[in-house]
Structure 1
């Protein structure tokens, strides 16, 4: 069987691994150039996820951890499509999300920010794309939080997004930001992206057409897996 050749990603849009303005990159950046390896047959024919692997509330972060009521914060819907390089929807793809709560704190033992833990918000969810590649989930808009990079550096509000392909080795990870957030141009991590258009593809625009009146706003975030307009994935900086 002739291997399928993907349209190559434009590597010029990716941030360099070594960016002193983002302090932890100094210690973590590789000393040698990264390599792209072709997947073997065993890697591309691994187990896939099905609806039976998901619970009924997995894509509803407002309700899937609630104990005594709804979580605190601005209710939102995030929706979009997972697309290939030709604009075709990618069906049956597992999209996972995790995020801080409305106060900017993660439910994680190593998060020591003094914003309170919300007892009704877990901050994790997942959903499978449908036959046309569409996905959606409900959640609380995350808050910004400080981090020990500079004297007063803050992360913009963001949601972490993971996309699985046909096997675990095909996992891609990125972050979704929100339109109009004034912290985006001030974020040292976002500043490592040399191409402004690549950064724009990580910013979800407000979508009032998908908002639920008197309930929640909506943001649209399409994920393009490959090609010159692909989404920037933080664990695939070497390209496809």
Structure 2
């Protein structure tokens, strides 16, 4: 694989390498030739300013209230801020989440492993950050699940995040993990990222925003650029 062109520099914020052999799917999808520069068109760099809620519909911030009954599992609150490289808030940014249920299963036809589906949990939501770059979701802590990367492979508990800024071309995708999860250290996706940068993908338990007799709380700030950027496409 020596001919594979690498488009990763640790000083760029610790984003994953395009080729990480331990993460098997990157072998097929990593580029073999130099990238071709394709300037964005006007329709790609402009978008609906301040009207994301009109385009996407009402916010879906409580994933436990989408059906007739409460979903099974540990109720949690996930909140944080979207920030630029200087720590300034980034308002009017779409934050989407999707995740497995408490048993580690997605509602998707390709997810057929032997774990129960929850009819009261879809596992998807979206909000738009406020003037201070803040977002907040109520959801269920997802379970770990097996995947076919290697024998006895299990993904750590995680929530997928997608951010959409001023235009569709600015979409960024990442994952949030939970503190103390032993699977993080042996997960090939996490190991494709420098160790210091992996820490930026791990949320922080926060007792101050935990709601008594209701839900535990985790804080996950997302930094878009710079040396302390949150790794994207993790």
TM-score above 0.5: yes
1:216 aligns with 2:215: yes
| Aligned residues of 1:9 and 1:226 also touching (Cα < 8 A) | no
Which stretch shifts more, 11-20 or 135-144? Answer: 11-20
C-alpha separation between the residues in 2 aligned to 1:35 and 1:221?
A: 34
C-alpha separation between the residues in 1 aligned to 2:28 and 2:56?
A: 38
Which stretch shifts more, 11-20 or 46-55? Answer: 46-55
Structure 1, unpaired ranges of 5+ = 1-7, 236-240
C-alpha separation between the residues in 2 aligned to 1:27 and 1:54?
A: 34
Alignment of 1:104-115 (within 5 A): 104-115=104-115
Alignment of 1:2-13 (within 5 A): 10-11=11-12, 13=14
| Aligned residues of 2:13 and 2:226 also touching (Cα < 8 A) | no
Q: Report deviation, 1:52.
A: 3.3
Q: Report deviation, 1:54.
A: 5.2
Structure 2, unpaired ranges of 5+ = 1-8
Give the 3 Å change call, closer, same or farther, for CA 215–12 of structure 1 in structure 2: closer
C-alpha separation between the residues in 2 aligned to 1:84 and 1:41?
A: 23
Q: Report deviation, 1:18.
A: 1.7
Equivalent residue, structure 2, for 1:20 = 21
| Aligned residues of 1:145 and 1:156 also touching (Cα < 8 A) | yes
Q: Report deviation, 1:37.
A: 5.8
Task: Provide the alpha-carbon RMSD of the alignment.
Answer: 2.0
Alignment of 1:1-240 (within 5 A): 10-11=11-12, 13-34=14-35, 39-48=40-49, 49-53=51-55, 58-64=60-66, 66-67=67-68, 69-193=69-193, 195-234=194-233
Name the SS for the 2:218 alignment partner. strand
Name the SS for the 2:208 alignment partner. helix
Q: Report deviation, 1:15.
A: 2.9
Equivalent residue, structure 2, for 1:5 = none
Query: How many residues matched?
Result: 225
